[in-house]
Amino acid sequence: MSQPQKVALVTGGATGIGLAISQQLLNDGYIVVVNYQASQAAADAFVEGAKAKQQLALAIQANIGVSSDVIRVMDTIVSTFGRLDVIVNNAGITEDGLMLRMNEEQFDRVIQTNLKGVWLVCKYGLKPLMQAGNGRIINIASVAGLMGNFGQSNYAAAKAGVIGLTKTLAREMASRQLTVNVVAPGFIETRMTDKLSEQVKTSALNMIPLKRFGQPEDIAHMVSFLASPKAQYITGQTFVVDGGMTMY
């Protein structure tokens, strides 16, 4: 008797690093549910691309910082596919500024999405993950959560919080054989980094021993490993993918 196809949810999975993760998990044989907030065209393109290859994907619009939206996402996944095996919490926003100039609304919006959103997706995803057995949660943080970053007090605080949340949840879920880990990207080439000045890029390269920026696929490969049976004895850990930038 063949095993049912596993289902993975990738928040913010239609663009950038999230898209690379979604595509990798699709290639790994998962049914991939892509959550998006505003990138409908990109999400639809991913689903259509999967369909063209006889692969199954679904796009769901939702604001992960709102509990009712997250509950709707989980209900849709379970009612459509009957299970959920992997959650990748990738969705995130930035609203940078020096602390002296940053207002409370900027701080709150980033915390709402980047930290509370991860908490909500984990909370409401736990039941279907436990029902499927051997579930995986992979939270995408950032090296900013380990070392801080100029002008990103809100973002760094949220990502540091994700690491602490992950360790706590890993302890709580260990008896259920549900693993929870973090991937912390360094400087990865995306549309966001394309907008940076050459001076900023050169400065960043000088901090990276490998002397090059990472690609979204570098993060996707780590997620693929953590979602696989090869990582069944790994939980509560933070995997830094940064070309050696935060080596210590």
Cβ neighbors of 114 (< 8 A, separation 6 or more) are 91, 92, 93, 155, 158, 159, 162
Positions marked catalytic: 155
